[in-house]
Amino acid sequence: MILTVLSLLISLLMKLTKTTKKLDDSICKALTIACENSLHVIEGFSWLTHRANYTNFPASLVVTCIFESEADIEKIQQDNLDGEFRKDIQKQLLKVGVTLKNIKQNIHFDSEEACQRHHQGQWPQRLDLKIGKQKPR
């Protein structure tokens, strides 16, 4: 699955401590469940991934949900399904002990269409997030 591949690449790029690696593995498992729950239920949804600066966790956790098109994102927002999708992700993260204060800030929607248009389909470049060592809010 794309989620697993991206998470593996992120892990290789970042030097994770054993504790951080365990936490990241738990997050991957939770997000895989959320992904599987939504894959055939939410029209246009394809996959999701995450990234975080573990020195400012969980505030720095960003989950990106990828849809086929911008129209798919607009449709779930019009149908008020975006909030339910975010809540399902939050529920799965809570099961592994990760509490998000503001799910709209931590869970984003993006599309294959937008990535192709702006980054020529290069997801690692599009998802590159410069998370500084900021203080928790």
Q: Which pLDDT belongs to residue 2?
A: 53
Q: Which pLDDT belongs to residue 108?
A: 94
Would you say the pTM of this structure is higher than 0.85? no
Q: CA 14, CA 4: separation in Å to the nearest integer?
A: 15
The residue-averaged pLDDT of 32-45 equals 93
Over residues 42-91, the pLDDT tens digits come to 999 999 999 988 888 888 899 999 999 999 999 999 999 999 999 999 99
